[in-house]
Amino acid sequence: MAQPLWQQLAEALRADLVASPPGSPLPTDEELARAHSVSKMTAAQAVQHLAAIGLVTRVKGHGTVTRDLRPITLHTSRHAAAAHGAKAGGPWSIAVTNAGMTPEVRLLTVVRVAEDDLPDFVAEVFTEEMVRRDRLMFADGQPAAITTAWIPWRVAAGTRLADRDMIPQGTYSALREAGYAVNRAVESIRSRHATDAERKALRLPKDASALAVERISFYGDGQAIELLETVADATRVTMQHSIDL
């Protein structure tokens, strides 16, 4: 049985897209229709398919462009180094730099959240007023991960943790300054569908899967001090653990 025209066109475009630099613009539906002697509807169906499988994305003001699929490997050992005061940069910056790209981290929001307004997964760990810090992580200008840090307000108040500014050496350094040295962390990693807000922020295709990592950090004799949720583009970001046996 012959493939539908839109599928034939999508396959014809796929090889060129994979070889194109990230962010390369795709011709408009009308231009594709003329170049391949198909209807505009067929061209639109082909582009929709390419977006659904994650090869292209629509960017406001730029039209449809190729997605950056270069892999980024986050080494969890970097969190341990950060907890002990390493100054080589945060885990994201190191991972992106090692992948040959330029890292960038943007602080989106810093808000104080009442205990009654905490989401369920945070309320399972903390039963008090919290500060939420949201950041968007980039690699060569393309968003690839979102992080949300939850810290008790009693800890953050009057420190850099409550400021609406970036913390260059990361949350662990600010916690140390406040007298809370992290000595243990527990991570849970799972794959799930990205929410609409996450898809929009990360420019993911419809029904895309996200890598969701929840890390609870502890100090002293086992008291929780931070909950960090990282949601990443599952087609690009890999978590790598080193285990001594």
- Once rounded to an integer, what is the mean pLDDT over residues 204-215? 87
For residue 212, being part of any structural domain is answered with yes
Closest CA to 145 of 181, 186, 99: 99
Distance CA 210, CA 193 (A): 6
Q: How many domains does the chain have?
A: 2
Instruction: Calculate mean pLDDT across residues 92-102.
Output: 90
Average pLDDT of the residues in 108-113: 97
Listed residues 46, 66, 86: the one ending a domain: 66
pLDDT at 49 (0 to 100): 87
Let me know whether 104 and 203 are in one domain.
yes
- Is position 17 within any domain? yes
Give Cβ neighbours of residue 242 (< 8 Å, ≥ 6 apart): 75, 76, 77
Q: What is the mean pLDDT of residues 44-64?
A: 82
Same domain, 32 and 90: no
245 inside domain: no
Among 176, 163, 177, which Cα is nearest to 109's? 163
Residue position matching structure tokens 């810093």: 110
pLDDT-derived band of residue 82, with 50, 70 and 90 as boundaries?
low
Please give the pLDDT value at position 214: 95
Choosing from 16, 36, 66, the residue where a domain stops is 66
> What digits encode the pLDDT tens for the residues 129-150?
999 999 999 998 889 999 999 9
Q: Is residue 139 assigned to a domain? A: yes
The residue ranking higher by pLDDT, 243 or 95, is: 95
CATH number (domain holding residue 9): 1.10.10.10
CA 139 from chain centre, in angstroms, equals 10
Q: Are residues 44 and 91 in the same domain?
A: no
Same domain, 102 and 46: no
Residues 62/54, Cβ–Cβ less than 8 Å: no
- Helix residue ranges, H only, the chain: 5-19, 29-36, 40-52, 77-83, 91-98, 120-123, 153-156, 171-177, 196-202
Residue 101 binned pLDDT confidence (cut-offs 50, 70, 90): very high
Question: Does 158 score more than 80 pLDDT?
Answer: yes
29 and 87 in a common domain: no
In a domain, 85, yes or no: yes
If asked whether residues 84 and 21 sit together in one domain, one would say: no
Residue 74 predicted with pLDDT over 60: yes
* Residue 209 in domain: yes
Domain of residue 101 covers 72-240
pLDDT on residue 38: 92
Higher pLDDT, 155 or 207: 155
Cα within 13 Å of Cα(49), Cβ side: 17
Q: How do 142-152 and 223-233 pair as beta strands?
A: antiparallel
Asked if residue 162 and residue 118 are part of one domain, the reply reads yes
Do residues 86 and 202 both lie within one domain?
yes
Whether pTM exceeds 0.75: yes
- The Cα 93–Cα 79 span in angstroms is 12
Please tell me the predicted confidence (pLDDT) of residue 225: 98
Per DSSP, the residues of 150-204 read EEEHHHHTTSGGGSSS--TT-HHHHHHHTT--EEEEEEEEEEEEPPHHHHHHHTP
213 shares a domain with 96 = yes
Residues 60 and 126 in one domain: no
pLDDT for residue 77 is more than 70:
no
Q: Look over the chain and give the mean of its residue pLDDT values, rounded to a whole number.
A: 88
9-52 pLDDT tens trace: 999 888 788 778 878 888 999 999 999 999 999 999 999 888 87
pLDDT class for 83, splitting at 50, 70, 90? low
> CA 41 → CA 26, 28, 162, 179, 200, distances in Å?
16, 12, 51, 62, 25
- Domain final position from 50, 66, 82: 66
Q: State how far the Cα of 23 lies from the Cα of 105, in Å rounded to an integer.
A: 19
Give the model's pLDDT for residue 242.
79
What is the arithmetic mean of pLDDT over 94-99? 90
* Percentage of the chain lying above the pLDDT 90 cut: 57
What share of the chain has pLDDT > 70, as a percent? 94
Q: Say what the pLDDT of residue 80 is.
A: 58
Q: How far is CA 155 from CA 96, 108, 152, 214, in A?
A: 30, 21, 5, 20
What tokens does 42 get?
């067929």
The CA R_g of the chain, rounded to the nearest whole Å, is: 21
pLDDT tens for 162-185 read 999 999 888 999 999 999 999 999
Residues 193, 84, single domain; the answer is yes
The enclosing domain of 197 has a CATH number of 3.40.1410.10
CA angle, 56 as apex, 53 and 57 as ends, to 5°?
105
Helix (H, G, I), strand (E, B) or coil at 130: strand
Residues 172 and 109 in one domain: yes
